[in-house]
Copies of this chain bind each other. A is one copy, B any other.
């Protein structure tokens, strides 16, 4: 339960703007190589968190071009790289394109509280909109690729494109519910089951196996996310394995009795 942020200096803070004329610098500087790889304007980022918004709303070419110009591809970022730190000026949100991002805060006692793990297609930084600085840290757990959106700019775009506005509202609203999920007083088993089931669902929605996947984060991070001691995480995993619910080998997990896991997780995930 004691875990501080990595002492990695990181390449996160302001960097001079490059060719595009952009000046946002909280996130690492966009990679010119990936900036130019968009062959197809209409499907430039099929895994993007906003692509569905575009399709849903029958977004016209002009609006899509606006969004296209707005996005900045960032990365690849090495594990341990901070995307932003608590107190950094809030300027942008970002969609994860590849890898896993961990958001966390460190309390006065030095204990780390993990707010969430963000998989490809998910958006980070939304909790920074209220206030002019990020209220938490964000760090790459493995190799991460991002789509960065200047928030002032996407907000302006949202006034012209209702589909964008609606999508932003939904993303924000969704995070409120997500934050409340694990807030309940659940048992260690329920919390761990909910974590695994949630992970499985999110991975499946992105085309990965729902029954066999790798945990990209160490046990300590899982523990700090679920408000458990790392030892408890270890013990619960062992017991679930003995009961034939799942198989664990280091960071590889296989869900064997999904029904039982779902039953455990149901109260937490609300059905």
> Which residues of A are interface residues toward B (Cβ below 8 A)?
1, 105, 107-109, 113, 115, 126-131, 135, 155-156, 158-160, 162, 165-166, 168-177, 179-180, 182-185, 227, 266-267, 270-271
Contacts and interface: CB of A to CB of B under 8 A. Distances in A.
Given A130-B174, A174-B130, A176-B176, A267 B185 contact: no
Across the A-B interface, the 10 shortest Cβ-Cβ residue pairs = A129-B173, A179-B179, A172-B172, A130-B173, A185-B227, A130-B174, A183-B183, A130-B170, A127-B176, A107-B267
A176 B171 CA distance: 11
Given A1-B185, A115-B180, 16 more contacts: A108-B266, A108-B267, A126-B172, A127-B180, A129-B173, A130-B174, A130-B177, A131-B173, A135-B177, A155-B165, A158-B165, A159-B160, A165-B165, A175-B176, A176-B179, A185-B227
Nearest to A156: B162
18 contacts: A108-B267, A115-B180, A127-B177, A127-B180, A130-B171, A130-B173, A130-B177, A155-B162, A155-B165, A155-B166, A155-B169, A158-B165, A159-B162, A159-B165, A165-B165, A175-B176, A179-B183, A183-B183
A159 B170 CA distance: 15
A159 B162 CA distance: 7
The oligomer's copy count stands at 2
Q: Tell me the dominant secondary structure on chain A's binding face.
A: helix
Contact of A107 (B165, B170, B184): B184
Contacts of A176: 126-127, 172, 175-176, 179
A222 to B, nearest CB: 14
Given A165-B159, A179-B180, A183-B179, A173 B107 contact: no
A160 B165 CA distance: 12
Contact of A184 (B135, B165, B168, B227): B227
> Which of A115, A131, A170, A177 is the most central at the interface, judged by chain B CB atoms within 10 Å of its CB?
A177
Contacts of A115: 180
Contact of A170 (B1, B129, B166, B270): B129
A183 B180 CA distance: 8
Given A107-B267, A158-B165, A179-B179, A184 B130 contact: no
